[in-house]
Copies of this chain bind each other. A is one copy, B any other.
Amino acid sequence: MGNADPVYPSSSVERLHRVAIPPPQPFVKSLKNSLKETFFPDDPLRQFKKQPPSVKFVLGLKYFFPILEWAPRYTLEFLKSDLIAGITIASLAIPQGISYAKLANLPPILGLYSSFVPPLVYAIMGSSRDLAVGTVAVASLLTASMLGNEVNANENPKLYLHLAFTATFFAGVFQASLGLLRLGFIVDLLSHATIVGFMAGAATVVCLQQLKGILGLEHFTHGTDLVSVMRSVFGQTHMWRWESGVLGCCFLFFLISTKHFSKRKPKFFWVSAMAPLTSVILGSLLVYLTHAEKHGVEVIGHLKEGLNPPSFGDLIFVSPYLTIAIKTGIITGVIALAEGIAVGRSFAMFKNYHIDGNKEMIAFGMMNIAGSFSSCYLTTGPFSRSAVNYNAGCKTAVSNIVMAIAIMFTLLFLIPLFHYTPIVVLAAIIISAMLGLIDYEAAVHLWKIDKFDFVVCMSAYIGVVFGSVEIGLVVAVAISLLRVLLFIARPKTLALGNIPNSMIYRSLEQYPNANNVPGILILEIDSPIYFANSSYLRERIARWIDEEEDRIKSSGETSLQYVILDMSSVGNIDTSGISMLEELTKTIDRRGLKLVLANPGGEVMKKLNKSQFIENIGQNWIYLTVGEAVGACTYMLHTCKPNLEKAEPEAWNSV
């Protein structure tokens, strides 16, 4: 039954469109193509084509040093804007730099060093016009927690410092190599949902760490998780210093209110941008005048004047510390990249210019390598600073140069002024910056739109807050990948029906008005057929047929004769998938049914052809559209019953 080849009148054959098998390609060519699509999807060498060598050289220089591209077109008008933006971000960079360096358990002065050399490198090599370079809270915290596992920063500060430089060096090498090897897509493994959860978790953890500064505690846990911190804080209530607490809350209130004010009136962006520096000045003055440092308000203390000392000789390339430095470098490097590239992309989209992710990675990498040679630790493009830069009207990366010069000036002449800056003010600055990272609205949005993304987001958050930063990250990435694998392992199969008054066949679930076609079961497979799903698909299709036959039995319709597989969405197939199709054909044959394929894609047709599957099933049982397949099957059903072998040719177009 149903095994005869379809017979049509010769006149109707023309209406049928054949499914084409793409012309065979030499192996080397197809390999080259797929490598190109994998590693050079944006075709960065397009403009190099058909150019003389000298032009190619200039283009190449411009590719690696975008400053050569825009510097010749730089105007005085731009300089004015960049000057304002640069000074504004410098005023933010000084207190933030000092705060984040404290967070990383590094000498505060490193925060300033890190805002001097790396911005200069980025200005030369970076392609974003809005990114402001500097250290970030999350990477600082990660550095502290990862290196802290190996070396105690208080007991062995010098080794810890050198390890931080080494980790920065490896972060830079890793970032640059990702870019050079065109492996930028590794950053894509951090989905939007992961980043929302991770950032919120990291912000929570960073805020919790600030309780030490706010409460003026001397001893504090090394753990970053909620439980250890709470135990540490409430285990020594007798050590809390009210002076410190009051001061901290006042400054926090001041910072948060200026932030809200600037948010409501974007014109006054500079109010919130200047607030941290104002707090530092006010706090330092207050301590200087009241001698509060003798009453439980800790201050920064002596800072060394002068520019970045070279640190090339401090890098540690010997075991047992090499492993931890490499590990820290890679993890912090990826996190820093993810933030920097996301920030760069967002602003580029606002201003409608393009950023090449792989090129940015090289710029970030070089900037961190240079940084590790000049006493800087990990830098990237922090969101807060870049947003201020953008709002201040920056035009090009010159604002970074202006910031670097301002920081240089500070390092050379103004450093002694920070002697009396209270730690509690720095803690308030960090907390107010971190609160902006807890984006609960985004989490609500995720819940509404995609429950799975919400789960990913929450597991990142919970992992970071209750476990550690690394645990949260690993869990979230693993769940995200699991989702991708599940999509392949458990693909959707949909039964299709005819949309009334058309030749269109669509999912019965999505289109309640679509109708079953009597005697024919139309199934759509929504993913490539790979080893990971071939067993599942075999069983699921068998179940579809069972269920359809049950339904027909109870409703008394025409009994099932044809199973049409709509292969439009099957992007690829592997050898396990082909075996599955072969087995499926046999099983369906044995049940007295006939398998018909509709619209297999190029890649699939190529492989089906090579494996002789097309010969086995017969080219006549493969149709270009579901509509044509249904037409042919219906024709066969109507004319050839009960014995298909005796089918009389008749025009089926009229059916």
Q: Which residues of A contact B (CB under 8 A)?
A: 17, 20, 22-23, 27, 31, 37-38, 41-43, 46, 185, 188-194, 349, 352, 354, 357, 445-446, 448-453, 480-481, 483-492, 494, 499, 502, 504, 506-507, 509-512, 526-528, 530-536, 539-540, 542-543, 546, 568-569, 571-572, 574-576, 578-579, 583, 586-587, 590, 599, 601-603, 605, 607, 610-611, 624-625
CA distance A486 to B189 in the complex (A): 12
Could you tell me if A451 and B569 are in contact, using CB atoms closer than 8 angstroms? no
11 more A-B residue pairs beyond the given contacts A185-B490, A191-B531, A510-B601, with a C-beta to C-beta distance below 8 A? A20-B510, A41-B540, A43-B543, A188-B533, A191-B532, A191-B576, A449-B578, A484-B532, A487-B530, A526-B601, A527-B528
CA distance A624 to B533 in the complex (A): 28
CA distance A442 to B188 in the complex (A): 36
Could you tell me if A586 and B349 are in contact, using CB atoms closer than 8 angstroms? yes
Could you tell me if A571 and B569 are in contact, using CB atoms closer than 8 angstroms? yes
CA distance A153 to B17 in the complex (A): 68
Given contacts A485-B484, A531-B480, A534-B188, contact A450 B583 (CB under 8 A): no
Given contacts A38-B486, A192-B575, contact A602 B507 (CB under 8 A): yes
- Cβ-closest chain B residue relative to A442: B575
Inter-chain contacts of A599 with B (CB < 8 A): 506
Could you tell me if A349 and B583 are in contact, using CB atoms closer than 8 angstroms? yes
Could you tell me if B607 and A450 are in contact, using CB atoms closer than 8 angstroms? yes
Q: Which 3 A-B pairs have the closest CB atoms?
A: A191-B531, A510-B602, A569-B569
Given contacts A349-B583, A451-B27, A543-B43, contact A509 B576 (CB under 8 A): no
Inter-chain contacts of A481 with B (CB < 8 A): 485
27 contacts between A and B (CB under 8 A): A20-B512, A23-B512, A41-B490, A41-B540, A185-B489, A185-B535, A192-B531, A194-B531, A349-B586, A449-B578, A449-B607, A449-B611, A450-B575, A450-B607, A452-B574, A453-B575, A481-B485, A485-B485, A504-B624, A504-B625, A506-B599, A509-B602, A510-B601, A510-B602, A526-B569, A527-B571, A568-B568
What is the CB-to-nearest-CB distance from A626 to chain B, in angstroms, rounded to a whole number? 11
Q: Which of B38, B488, B510 contacts A484 (CB 8 A)?
A: B488
Give the dominant DSSP class at A's interface.
helix
- Cβ-closest chain B residue relative to A612: B449
Could you tell me if B485 and A193 are in contact, using CB atoms closer than 8 angstroms? no
- Cβ-closest chain B residue relative to A492: B571
Inter-chain contacts of A578 with B (CB < 8 A): 449
CA distance A528 to B569 in the complex (A): 10
CA distance A351 to B625 in the complex (A): 34
Inter-chain contacts of A531 with B (CB < 8 A): 188-194, 480
Inter-chain contacts of A572 with B (CB < 8 A): 487
Q: Which of B453, B576, B586 contacts A192 (CB 8 A)?
A: B576
- Cβ-closest chain B residue relative to A23: B512
Given contacts A38-B490, A490-B37, A571-B491, contact A188 B611 (CB under 8 A): no
Q: Which of B27, B38, B451, B605 contacts A510 (CB 8 A)?
A: B605
- Cβ-closest chain B residue relative to A448: B610
Could you tell me if B22 and A489 are in contact, using CB atoms closer than 8 angstroms? no
CA distance A485 to B486 in the complex (A): 11
Could you tell me if B188 and A489 are in contact, using CB atoms closer than 8 angstroms? yes
Given contacts A193-B575, A575-B453, A579-B192, contact A603 B533 (CB under 8 A): no
Given contacts A449-B611, A489-B188, contact A507 B601 (CB under 8 A): yes
CA distance A37 to B544 in the complex (A): 12
What is the CB-to-nearest-CB distance from A516 to chain B, in angstroms, rounded to a whole number? 17
- Cβ-closest chain B residue relative to A566: B568
Inter-chain contacts of A579 with B (CB < 8 A): 192
CA distance A69 to B575 in the complex (A): 35
Could you tell me if B188 and A535 are in contact, using CB atoms closer than 8 angstroms? yes
Inter-chain contacts of A576 with B (CB < 8 A): 191-193, 453
- Cβ-closest chain B residue relative to A537: B41
Could you tell me if A590 and B624 are in contact, using CB atoms closer than 8 angstroms? no
Inter-chain contacts of A490 with B (CB < 8 A): 37-38, 41, 185
Could you tell me if B449 and A509 are in contact, using CB atoms closer than 8 angstroms? no
- Cβ-closest chain B residue relative to A625: B504
Given contacts A349-B583, A625-B504, contact A571 B602 (CB under 8 A): no
CA distance A125 to B645 in the complex (A): 44
CA distance A488 to B486 in the complex (A): 12
CA distance A583 to B494 in the complex (A): 30
Q: Which of B492, B532, B535 contacts A603 (CB 8 A)?
A: B492
- Cβ-closest chain B residue relative to A525: B571
- Cβ-closest chain B residue relative to A514: B20
Could you tell me if A506 and B624 are in contact, using CB atoms closer than 8 angstroms? yes
